[in-house]
Amino acid sequence: MLNRKNIMFLLFLVVFVILFDIIMGMVFRSLYFSEKSMQNDPLIHAVVGTDEEILVFGSSRAVHHYDPGILEDSLGKSCYNVGSGGQNIYYHLAILEATLERYVPDIAILELMTIDFEVTPAQWETEKLGVLLPFYHNSAGVKRAILRRGSSEKVKNLSSVYSFNSLLYTIFRNNVFPFNNHIKGYIPIDDREWKNEIGNAQDDDTKIDSSKMNTLFEFIQICQSKKIQLHIFISPHFIKTQGGSKYKDIIKNIKYKFGLEVNNFENHQTFLKDSKLFADPLHLNSKGAKEYSAIVSRILKESVKKPE
Amino acid sequence: MNWKPVYAILMFLSTFVTWLCGILVDNSESNLRRKVFLIISLVINFGILFLYKYYDFLNNSVYEALEFFDIRWPVPNLDLLLPVGISFYTFQAVGYTIDVYRKELKAEKHLGIYALFVSFFPQLVAGPIERASNLLPQFKREHFLESDRLVSGIKQMIWGFFMKVVIADRLALFVNAVYSNVNEHNGSTILIATFLFAFQIYCDFAGYSNIAIGSARIMGFDLMTNFNRPYFSVNISEFWHRWHISLSTWFRDYVYIPLGGNRVSERRGYFNIFLTFVISGIWHGANWTFFIWGSLHGLYNIIQKYFRMDKIQFSGFSGQKALFILVNFTLVLLAWVFFRANTTGDAFMVLSKIFTSHGIPFVGSITTFVYGIFGLIILFFREISEEFFPPKLNIFESENPVVSALLNAALIFLIIAIGVFDGGQFIYFQF
């Protein structure tokens, strides 16, 4: 039997939980998507704010290597770097789909990394998609990506506060102490030069993850079906590839399936000879990024002149 | 921690053997027959546990010891995955057989009811390790939905989830980052990680216990209290009366007392304490780190007993009591280094770095600290209120349904807003 005090507790508990969720969810949403946040957080702009003609997709190597200013000056088109550190092809596809729900860009650049097609712990990959939670209700593409984390996400996302899980500090920072370290999504590494000798790549023991590979192919297919000029790049790194490139099979596959050439800068001598262009073996510093972005813009310019 | 459907057979075997041996022990007139059936039950149950949990550890230890003398040991490892909850249900089932053997309990004739006792889901995988005398009779009573139980169970579950998701899993992000790479971090960072680990493991395990006890209570079952604010203990003996109570009382009743307890010579008494703690350490895992952890607690206990420090009583809160709490916590912290480190080598490196290598600590993600410390502040507030203030002044014990509902709704909000939902499994699932 329920006594009056306990009925009141249960009733008020349900009411307070719902009220907290609705009110705080609204507060978080309005602060997360505030004008200040949109300006300062490249992630928010990438998902809901872009209208640029060129978009750069990829992980940290995209974020640090592609300077939109150089691409814009050279091609006369607006550009935004929608890359995000540590992310992989599931994330890139979600951003592409969210973009296509609003408009169709002219050119897409995809910086390909091994994490975009090789086997890694599944949980590790899907956990990172959590950064897209605030956009779960905004975009079908994002929703599809979030559901890769598990079917329980459908239930969890019934809560409007859950969309902003662990983002309280980010919301506070974006609105109170905005920290802007990017230029249209590009984050230059200004203060570091790699001084060590060139390292050797590990042997090619890449195991292809079929789910990731299919997602990569889906990314390419969507671009082709929407007539987006897609350019896939593998930007330079300061590592000698001895036992063969880890990318060789995927490059062949992309060429075979889609007739698309991958621009592979793994063994580009300008970069392999100059450690000062790197911040670490995997990332160019701002000096290297400028040089590399200039090369990329030349390639893009050529292809714009001679459309397929 | 692993689970495969085939592991259910192990649990069934353990259940069936202890059930049958319980009946055979109970029905036997001769003491010898009773002892034989008890031994059969113990050998089968501990044999399974040994095979899955300790065989490879022992084999590797023998291999390494003989290698030192250039002797080859060609026996291969079994590489078996440890079935989830095996240490918990084995101890619960073995405890039952011993109780029947001691004539403290009548054997349960109904296999279904007995199987429910061994596999009762709230506490199956990580305790509390229940006593048959407490749990078995509850399965024979009719249960109705009782509002007091429902409400108190819900509150306890909410607090358990808060401890686990908001505090333990958040602190784990930092602790794991540091302890998985101790040679890269300085002593200051490692000290902070060790301090946070003390609260990570407490909130992880006590959080689980609260969820288990709360969910059982909602269904009408009372499980034993497993934690009672252990870090407020003034000595190690008190710590073990407040930490993992169901395990420490198990070891007291089924290991320490049969060894003679304290009704033996002083020296033998110390030996009994030490041995009990060493076994308790090894129960946690097949690794020398757990052996040292258990040994340290054994030594702490012996030293405190020798100097009669366990007899010191405090009435109310005082500076002296605070000092004893602090010293005791430091000793527990020191032992946690061995519990958390991946190898004994890592543990000694951690200790050496804590005392010798200082510098600016690594912070990692600022959010880990912001949310983790926020959760800890709420934990401290609650535990200090419960430990040192009368219930009337403790807002968590408020009788007012609106205040209580508001407080619990706020905890649910914090769980959703700052909890870690990608967190790992419970630490004690691996034991």
> Would you mind telling me the total number of residues written for chain B in this entry?
431
Please state, in angstroms and rounded to a whole number, the distance separating the CA atoms of residues B401 and B138: 29
**Residue B286's pLDDT is what?**
84
The minimal CB distance from A5 to the residues B401, B409, B416 is found for B401
Please tell me the predicted confidence (pLDDT) of residue B408: 96
* Contact (CB<8Å) A166/B371: yes
Tell me if A169 and B416 make a contact (CB, 8 A cut-off). no
Under an 8 A CB cutoff, do B417 and A168 touch? Answer: yes
Residues of chain A with C-beta less than 8 angstroms from the C-beta of B150: 2, 6, 10
A170 or B423: which leads in pLDDT: A170
Of B319, B393, B355, B315, the closest CA to residue B191 belongs to B355
Q: Write out residues 222-251 of A within 8 Å (CB-CB) of B.
A: none
Rounded to an integer, the average pLDDT of B377-381 is 95
B292: confidence class by pLDDT, cuts 50, 70, 90: very high
A10, A17, A19: residue with CB nearest B151: A10
Mean of the per-residue pLDDT values of chain B = 90
Tens place of pLDDT per residue across chain A (308 aa): 668 899 999 999 999 999 999 999 999 999 998 888 777 788 888 888 899 999 999 999 999 999 999 999 999 999 999 999 889 899 999 999 999 999 999 999 999 988 888 887 766 677 788 889 999 998 999 999 999 888 888 999 999 999 999 888 888 888 888 777 788 899 998 878 888 777 776 666 678 888 889 999 999 999 999 999 999 999 998 887 765 677 778 888 898 889 888 998 888 888 888 888 888 888 999 999 999 999 999 999 888 765 55
Is the minimum CB–CB distance between A136 and chain B shorter than 8 Å? no
Q: How far apart are CA A264 and CA A243, in angstroms?
A: 16
Q: Which residue of A has its CA nearest to B158?
A: A13
Q: Which residues of A36-61 are buried (b: 16+ CB within 10 A; e: fewer)?
A: ebeebbbbbbbbbbbebbbbbbbbbb
Please tell me if residue A124 touches chain B, with a CB cutoff of 8 Å: no
Residue labelled with tokens 């150089």: A70
Report how far residue B15's alpha carbon sits from residue A120's, in angstroms, rounded to the nearest whole number.
39
Residues 165-194 of A with CB under 8 A from B: 165-166, 168-170
Query: A230 by DSSP, 3-state: which?
Result: strand
* Helical axes B111-119 vs B132-140, angle rounded to 10°: 120
Contacts of A113 (CB under 8 A, 6+ apart): A58, A59, A61, A88, A234
Q: Is the pLDDT of residue B125 over 90?
A: no
Q: Report CB contact under 8 Å: B417, A16.
A: no
Weakest mean pLDDT among B16-20, B164-168, B305-309: B305-309
Residues of A in Cβ contact (< 8 Å) with B162: none
Yes or no, beta carbons of B413 and A161 under 8 Å apart: yes
User: What is the chain A residue with the closest CA to B150?
Assistant: A6
Query: What proportion of chain B, given as a percentage, has pLDDT over 90?
Result: 63
A12 vs B419: CB contact, 8 Å cut-off? no
The rounded distance, in Å, linking the Cα atoms of A34 and B170 is 27
Tell me which residue in A9, A10, A127 faces B422 most closely, judged by beta carbons: A127
Among candidates A6, A20, A168 on the partner chain, residue whose Cβ is nearest the Cβ of B409: A20
Whether B354 contacts B316, CB under 8 Å:
no
- Average pLDDT of the residues in B249-255: 94
Give catalytic residues of B, as residue numbers: 284
Query: How many A/B residue pairs have CB atoms within 8 Å?
Result: 84
* Interchain CB distance below 8 Å, A165 and B154: no
pLDDT > 70? residue B431: no
Residues of B in contact with A164 (CB under 8 A): 417
Q: For the whole prediction, is pTM greater than 0.90?
A: no
Contact A166 B366 (CB under 8 A): no
- d(CA B310, CA B241) in angstroms, rounded, equals 12
Measured in whole angstroms, how far is the alpha carbon of residue A64 from the centre of its chain?
Answer: 12
Interface probe, candidates A22, A157, A165, chain B, greatest B C-beta count within 10 A:
A165
* Residue B207 scores a pLDDT above 80: yes
CB contact A158 to B (< 8 Å)? no
Q: What is the predicted pLDDT for the residue at A207? A: 80
Task: Among A20-29, A65-74, B73-82, B371-380, name the one with the lowest average pLDDT.
Answer: B73-82
Is pLDDT of B324 > 90?
Answer: yes
| A148 vs B230 pLDDT, higher one | B230
Q: Check pLDDT > 70 for residue B428.
A: no
What integer pLDDT is reported at residue A270 of this predicted model?
82
Amino acid B427: pLDDT: 57
Rounded Cα–Cα distance for residues B101 and B36 (Å): 10
Which among A121-130, B26-35, B311-320, B326-335 has the top mean pLDDT?
B326-335
Q: Taking the C-alpha atoms of B282, B288, B289 and B295 in order, what is their torsion angle to the nearest 10 degrees?
A: 60
pLDDT tens column, B269-291: 999 999 999 999 999 988 899 99
ipTM more than 0.90?
no
pLDDT at B429: 55
State how far residue A134 is from chain B, nearest Cα, in angstroms: 12
Provide the pLDDT confidence category of residue B294 given band limits of 50, 70 and 90. Answer: very high
Q: Which of B143, B217, B400, B421 to mutate: most A Cβ within 10 Å? A: B421
Residue B364: list chain A partners with CB under 8 A.
none
Mean pLDDT of B170-187: 89
Using a CB-CB distance cutoff of 8 angstroms, which residues of chain A are in contact with residue B147? 1-3, 6-7
Q: What is the pLDDT of residue B43?
A: 95
Is the pLDDT at B424 greater than 80? The verdict is no
Interface contact flag, A1 B147, Cβ < 8 Å: yes
Determine whether the interchain pair B406/A21 forms a contact, defined as Cβ–Cβ distance below 8 Å: no
| Among candidates B367, B408, B420 on the partner chain, residue whose Cβ is nearest the Cβ of A13 | B408
Q: Indicate the pLDDT class of residue B405, thresholds 50, 70 and 90.
A: very high
Of B147, B399, B406, the CB nearest to A3: B147
Residue of A nearest to B409 (CA): A17
Specify the pLDDT at position A237: 86
